[in-house]
């Protein structure tokens, strides 16, 4: 079962982080399209690799866990906060701003804290 789960969850995280980083860079910066796409693909690839290791139960270093957790939860929260209001209330024009200004920063902070806690517990279990 875990062999099926690893590629599925990793690919899903790749798509979510790709969408979120690409959309955030497009909205907030004046980067050329190629640079936004490159940064998005690099971040999404890192998130997919991190998810693969996480699902496999492999040991993850603290900085990788913090960065991966921030990318994954930030991407998930942004996607839900950005697309959710548009799906619920189609006539609102300020709904996507929830994802950009509230949900994404909260997701990044919570993901970074969660990644740190996960790595700390993993290191503590390894020492015992």
Cα(90)–Cα(64) distance, integer angstroms: 38
Closest by CA position to 24, among listed 64, 70, 90, 62: 70
The pLDDT value given to residue 8: 94
For residue 80 the two structure tokens come to: 């839900």
Judge if pTM exceeds 0.85: yes
46 CB-side CA count, 13 A: 19
Give the distance, in angstroms, between the CA of residue 121 and the centroid of all CA atoms in the same chain: 21
| Tens of pLDDT, residues 96-127 | 888 889 999 999 999 999 999 999 999 888 87
């Amino acid at each position: 079962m875990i062999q099926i789960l690893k590629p599925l969850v990793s690919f899903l995280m790749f798509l979510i982080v790709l969408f979120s980083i690409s959309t955030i860079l497009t909205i907030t910066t004046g980067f050329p399209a190629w640079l936004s796409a490159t940064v998005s693909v690099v971040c999404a690839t890192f998130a997919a690799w991190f998810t693969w290791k996480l699902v496999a139960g492999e040991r993850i270093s603290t900085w990788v866990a913090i960065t991966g957790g921030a990318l994954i939860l930030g991407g998930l929260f942004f996607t839900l906060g950005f697309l959710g209001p548009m799906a619920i209330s189609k006539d609102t024009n300020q709904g996507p701003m929830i994802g950009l200004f509230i949900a994404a920063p909260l997701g990044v902070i919570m993901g970074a804290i969660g990644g740190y806690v996960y790595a700390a517990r993993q290191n503590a279990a390894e020492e015992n």
